[in-house]
Amino acid sequence: MICPACNAANRVGAAFCADCGGRLPVGGPANRTGLAVTALVLGILSVLSIYALELSMLLGLTAAACGAIAFVQAKRQPLQFAGKSLALAGAGIGGMVALLYPVWASLVVPTRLKAAITANETAAVRDVNAVVAAERRYALANHDYYDTFGCLARPQDCIPGYRANLTIIDAPLVATSVRHGYSYTLALGPSAPAEAAESTSPSSVTCFAYIAAPVKVGVTGSRAFCGDESGQVRVGLSGVEPEVRDGRCPQAWPLLE
């Protein structure tokens, strides 16, 4: 403890200064443990945040550094700094977390990636089904012919005599071609025959295929999906976007179960 009168260093717990004899205050500025406590707290936090890999690694390294500094201070200046055991504990915990980071990351990262791929694929199948359903609803009002996204969004602008002011497809499906790690393509088939009814949209087609393919195979998704006027969704196990001809999904692809 530091004497406020003569600035002499005294042993911990001393009531009077060994140099000038003055009374020492209780809880003076000596024997500080702030950095050691900080190291221990950071070390504990690095363990609690282990699933947030980057944060855990940062906290672990900081705890190890703070603990090392606090230990050296307490060892070299024991009358001013204390908490060597706290410093060692914080440095040890933080250092252990940092050293085990590669092992823990090798276990957590694949699990995260698999969960992300599953979520992306689920969303892709949902979107494919939504577009297929929208095209089939549109066809009910368009003499069993399908059409572009623009006509699905505003059928009253495409189908002569269509009076209902409705949007058959959700706006996000029309506005973006890349969502949740997948790229989407609407492949239209042959145009409707010339003898089609006058109340048919001029841009009508006889069939269509809606394809969802991973932006990066194995990272954002593992499989590709394709839905067409049959109402069924087929799966491309390689994840590569297929060449769609005449607006039909590859028949070699298995049906989604």
Amino acid at 143: H
Report if residue 129 sits inside a domain: yes
Report if residue 42 sits inside a domain: no
Q: Which of 128, 84, 101 is nearest to 46 (CA)?
A: 101
d(CA 66, CA 159): 72
Report if residue 246 sits inside a domain: no
Give the pLDDT confidence of 191-240 residue by residue, as tens digits: 999 888 888 999 999 999 999 999 999 999 999 999 999 999 999 999 99
Burial 232-250 (b: 16+ CB within 10 A, else e): ebbbbeebebbebeebbbe
Amino acid at 4: P
Q: What mean pLDDT, rounded, does the chain reach?
A: 87
Give the pLDDT confidence of 91-125 residue by residue, as tens digits: 899 889 888 888 877 787 788 889 999 999 999 99
Number of domains in the chain: 1
Report if residue 177 sits inside a domain: yes
Amino acid at 150: G
Report if residue 109 sits inside a domain: no
d(CA 199, CA 249): 28
- SS3 label, residue 37: helix
d(CA 30, CA 4): 10
218: left (phi over 0), alpha (psi -120 to 50) or beta: left
Report if residue 184 sits inside a domain: yes
pLDDT band at 29 (very low <50, low <70, confident <90, very high): very low
Sign, CA dihedral 230-232-237-242, equals positive
Cβ distance 192 to 205 under 8 Å?
yes
d(CA 109, CA 105): 6
Cβ distance 121 to 138 under 8 Å?
no
Give the pLDDT confidence of 40-94 residue by residue, as tens digits: 999 899 888 877 778 888 998 999 999 999 899 888 877 677 888 888 998 899 8
Report if residue 64 sits inside a domain: no
- SS3 label, residue 202: coil
User: Which residue segment(s) compose the domain that 222 sits in?
Assistant: 116-236
Cβ distance 130 to 227 under 8 Å?
no
DSSP string, 80-106: TB--HHHHHHHHHHHHHHHHHHHHHHH
| Percent of the chain whose predicted confidence (pLDDT) is above 70 | 95
What residues does 253 pair with on adjacent strands?
Answer: none
- SS3 label, residue 201: coil
Report if residue 124 sits inside a domain: yes
Choose between 164 and 35: higher pLDDT. 35
pTM score over 0.85? no
